[in-house]
A and B are shown apart, each in its own frame.
Chain A
Amino acid sequence: MVDGKARDQSGAAEAIEDVMAILDKTELVTNAAGRMVPETVNGRTQTAYMGVGKYQPRGNKAAPPIRTAADYPATGDKRVADLETALRKCGLRDGMVISSHHHLRDGDRVALMALEAAARIGVKDLMWFPSASFPSQKGAIELMESRVIDHVEGSMNGPLGDYCTQGKMRGMGVLRSHGGRWQAIQDGEVHIDVAVIAAPTADPFGNCDGSHGKSACGSLGFALADSTYADHVIAVTDNLVPFPCIPWQIQGNNVDYVVEVESIGDPAKIVSGTTQITRSPDRLRIAEFVARFLRDAGILRNGFSFQAGAGGIALAFVSYLKQMMKQAGVKARFVRGGSTKYLVELLEEGLTDYILDGQTFDLDGVRSMADNPRHVATSPFTSYNYHGKGNFASLVDAVVLGATEVDTNFNANVVTHSDGRLLHGIGGWQNCLAAGCTILAVPSFRDRIPVIVDEVTTLCGPGELIDVVVTERGIAINPRRQDLLDAVKGSKLPIRPLPDIKKEVERICGGRPQRPKRGERPVAIVKWVDGTVLDTVWQIP
């Protein structure tokens, strides 16, 4: 017989041995893109990437437990005193999955509030499942150090990204696109125990709206999957209104508890007051090339559609495109947001019929969504979901995206620096590659670091889906798109082969860059939109 204490110690030692055994057993396989990926991640067997559209799982979608309205207050008042109470009532236990969302971006206070409440309850080893994390949430590092959080499955950048790539996180990071997050929830790859939704406006029944209130952010689309698939759903608001909260972007019928707090976020960091077009002449040149490409390739025509983000180049692109639309007398049927004042201007000047908006970046966007029925909040379900019966991404004529690296086969990286450190989340980037014409608008080098490279550090987008790379030194069209090459014949645009641009950049930068050293241990994986493993992020030595 051993006494209790000794048994505990040997138990801990066994647990550590188990972990080491799992790590040791993490076999690497080569996927269809030729990348080395782990077979097992966080104790779960993975499917290696098989190619675009090749992986088609069967069976039924996941579903939350059956609930009974009789168990909820007939008054419709689901308020509880605080987050801690709500988490206790949800039965939060060690090892559970707790989710949050990034519609409040770097201004969000709710995710950390919930994780800290979980710490006070005393639970351990949670998996935090944010739709994206932001630098202001670096407090999560302390919670990982104290074992409240075991690991994060969601984009990580800044301090959290460094923590992960330095190999300090116990579990492995899993990076998914917005659509991939929906896919993982729907096919049961990730089961959410408790979803915590930050609501700029809510009623006691749990209906939530993002377009009104002091912390208004526009669309709440990222939280929609969690609200319908999680076992328990908590709405946290700083603007409680009497039932009904209209519009109800999140339906109270899916919500268990409502918590009222002083503030869900820092309004200054939730949306920009005004988004500004870049004044960098190089970036403006890239933006103008993109717009001219759409015009000269004949994509700019009546009833067309496009999507562009809120980065400096994307905003400038919209501005150039707008002039060309006016000159040509054409209008769009719809544009996909990330909405900004530049998209709102298109809508208000009658240059597009609709904005289908997944994320709202500035105050003009928030106002427009609140006031204009043609500015519609959407979610990754409608836009990006692999398990949907189709999605909007493939209906978009042209999409303009960024990248950290592109190789001469048009493969692209969007999550890591060239030295392997995590820099960005995938966001909707992978999902957008389904558009009719996918354009990467990138400088050919940043400082002395080439963007056009021999091989990307981390593969996020297969080259077969990337059609055009626009740089300040010329435009490269994927040889697979002979139709686009033909379409711009006779155009004055500087169309050049991608290897040509790479050669010029290497001459300017003083030769081909060294390959940075990388560690041998996988610290995170990049999922493809279908849930298969596309690539690995390695520990930085």
Chain B
Amino acid sequence: MTVATETRTGEAGHWGAEVRSDLHVRIEPRSRGGIDIELESRVKPYYGDAMRRQAEEVLEALGVRHAQVQIHDEGALPFVIAARIEAAARRAGRGEGTRVLPDRIALPEPSSRDRMRRSRLYVPGSEPKYFINAALHGADAIILDLEDSVHASEKDAARLLVRNALRAVDFLECERMVRINQLPLGLEDLDEIVPESPDLILIPKVENPGQVVEAGKRIAAIKGDYGITRPIWLMPILESALGIENAFAIATESEKIVALTIGLEDYTADLGVVKTSAGAESLFARQRVVNAAHAARIQAIDSVFGDVGDTDGLRAWGLNSRALGFEGMGCVHPLQIPVIHEAYAPTPAEIERARRIVAAYNEAQEKGLGVVSLGSKMIDPPVVNRALKLMARAKAMGIVD
């Protein structure tokens, strides 16, 4: 009798009329006969040979020597093909401890602690078609999501896809963020993700500083193993009443934390209240996050606005969010990006006032005056500081020269 694991069939990925940029792989290991690949693809006339070659290389690297392999391809790019074959092989009980990594494009410059984070676009980690052009739409960051947008049964496969995407996809100017799963599952995500040097890890459902410590230790260990010296920043997501209560302690736990954010779906569920577009039920929690973040000298980042069709609602939310002291928010569709950027941009009136304050300040400096005044009004130093910050921000947004 054959051992059950030896004949276990492994499948991964998706195919069908509605599927684009993905593939389905079915691997049936056998004891002899070598590799037999059956390939169906609409791009076969152009990349059929390349796909076959790649499949053979990946299987060999995974140590799969004898198997019946079926590939239904829907125009997937090479980094997706590699990830799906690897996932299917692992599900077939093969390839343990082996990674088949696609070619790596040059790593972008490391991101800075206080870079602009107005918009971060969530991309479901199991949907490769959204990865490819995600960075074109001008978000400050892309979040490759392994948590809520990925079904429990797809966590293992999504992890490989996201890992490969970090190596092969050019995310242009966007900060490369990954949202891992809630610990302890998130630790397994880190094992695949951290070697590819993401710029920032979002840790979901953080309730106490200990969770940040746990994730931080794992990241440091992996970085050590791989000799990675560039920073990998952290952004804890507070999504419960307890998390909100512990906001400041969490925010100050690690010097790698650059921002604190809030997840309102889970938070309102925890409170047992309805999430409204006006947001009165979460006002306290959001203000608490803003205050804790500022106290810790990090950025406060708002939740997402889920209704993609409601541009006016999004704009109103963004304006309110900025007024509360947030510096950005999440987005679930590229069309939200310009609306969010507009909402977080200083208004022309604010810019004009800041410009006059800065001019008055510069003039006072030149004349060696200790007191800055604008017209008949005396300007306090904090006001000058705020004006300087606002002008710097407006410059970063490309609103002023």
Chain A residues at the B interface, C-beta cutoff of 8 Å: 279, 281-282, 284-285, 418-419, 446-449, 472-473, 508-511, 513-514, 516-517
Contact = CB atoms under 8 A, between A and B. Distances in A.
Interface of B: 20-21, 42-43, 45-50, 54, 74-78, 132-133, 136-137, 333-335
Contacts of B46: 418-419, 448-449, 513-514, 516
Contacts of A511: 50
B20 A447 contact: yes
Nearest to B74: A447
Residue among A447, A472, A510, A511 facing the most chain B CB atoms (10 A cut-off): A447
Contact of B48 (A279, A418, A508, A514): A514
Contacts of A285: 136-137
Q: Which 7 A-B pairs have the closest CB atoms?
A: A447-B75, A513-B46, A516-B45, A281-B334, A510-B78, A448-B75, A419-B45
A282 B136 CA distance: 8
21 contacts: A281-B333, A284-B335, A418-B46, A419-B45, A447-B20, A447-B42, A448-B43, A448-B46, A448-B76, A473-B136, A508-B132, A509-B47, A510-B47, A510-B50, A510-B78, A511-B50, A514-B47, A514-B50, A516-B45, A516-B46, A517-B45
Contacts of A514: 45-50
A282 B47 contact: no
A192 to B, nearest CB: 38
Contact of B335 (A281, A419, A517): A281
A282 B335 CA distance: 10
A259 B278 CA distance: 63
A516 B47 CA distance: 10
A510 B42 CA distance: 16
A58 to B, nearest CB: 44
Q: Is the interface of B mostly helix, strand, loop or mixed?
A: loop
Contacts of B333: 281
A279 B334 CA distance: 10
B38 to A, nearest CB: 19
Nearest to B138: A285
A418 B132 CA distance: 22
A333 B338 CA distance: 31
Nearest to A285: B136
A155 B188 CA distance: 56
A278 to B, nearest CB: 11
Contacts of B133: 281-282, 472
A189 B137 CA distance: 50
Nearest to A444: B133
Contacts of B137: 281, 285
Contacts of B76: 448
Contact of B47 (A446, A448, A517): A448
Contact of A508 (B20, B74, B77): B77
B132 A449 contact: no
Nearest to B76: A448
B270 to A, nearest CB: 33
A510 B169 CA distance: 12
Given A447-B75, A513-B46, A514-B50, 11 more contacts: A448-B46, A448-B47, A448-B75, A448-B77, A449-B46, A472-B133, A508-B132, A510-B77, A510-B78, A511-B50, A516-B45
Contacts of B74: 447
A473 B135 CA distance: 11
A514 B41 CA distance: 14
B174 to A, nearest CB: 14
A447 B75 CA distance: 5
A529 B43 CA distance: 32
Nearest to A512: B46
A449 B46 CA distance: 7
A158 to B, nearest CB: 16
Nearest to A474: B136
Contacts of B335: 279, 281, 284
Nearest to B78: A510
Nearest to A281: B334
Contacts of A448: 21, 43, 46-47, 75-77
B205 to A, nearest CB: 29
Nearest to A504: B170
A418 B54 CA distance: 22
Contacts of A419: 45-46
Contacts of A449: 43, 46, 75
A279 B335 CA distance: 9
A447 B18 CA distance: 12
Interface-centre pick from A449, A473, A510 (highest chain B CB count, 10 A)? A510
B1 to A, nearest CB: 42
Contacts of A508: 77, 132
A311 to B, nearest CB: 18
Nearest to A508: B77
A285 B76 CA distance: 22
A516 B45 CA distance: 5
B45 A509 contact: no
A74 B209 CA distance: 98
A516 B41 CA distance: 14
Nearest to A447: B75
A515 to B, nearest CB: 8
B16 to A, nearest CB: 14
A55 to B, nearest CB: 34
B317 to A, nearest CB: 20
A513 B76 CA distance: 14
Nearest to A453: B46
Contacts of A472: 133, 136
Contacts of A446: 75
A516 B43 CA distance: 10
Nearest to B134: A281
B21 A447 contact: yes
A513 B47 contact: yes
A11 to B, nearest CB: 42
A511 B46 CA distance: 10
A156 to B, nearest CB: 20
A446 B132 CA distance: 12
A285 B334 CA distance: 10
Contact of B43 (A447, A473, A517): A447
A453 B20 CA distance: 21
A511 B132 CA distance: 16
Contacts of B42: 447
Contacts of B334: 281
Of B20, B54, B333, B334, chain A has the most CB atoms within 10 Å of the CB of: B334
A268 to B, nearest CB: 22
Nearest to B73: A448
A285 B337 CA distance: 12
A513 B50 CA distance: 9
Contacts of B43: 447-449, 513
A419 B44 CA distance: 10
Nearest to B21: A447
A446 B20 CA distance: 9
Contacts of B78: 510
Contacts of B77: 448, 508-510
Nearest to B338: A288
A488 to B, nearest CB: 18
A281 B123 CA distance: 13
A446 B136 CA distance: 16
Contacts of B45: 418-419, 514, 516-517
B164 to A, nearest CB: 13
B13 to A, nearest CB: 14
Nearest to A509: B77
A284 B74 CA distance: 23
B277 to A, nearest CB: 21
B293 to A, nearest CB: 30
B113 to A, nearest CB: 28
Nearest to B20: A447
B121 to A, nearest CB: 10
Contacts of B132: 508
Nearest to B333: A281
A503 to B, nearest CB: 13
Q: Max chain A CB contacts within 10 Å: which of B46, B48, B54, B78?
A: B46
Contacts of A418: 45-46
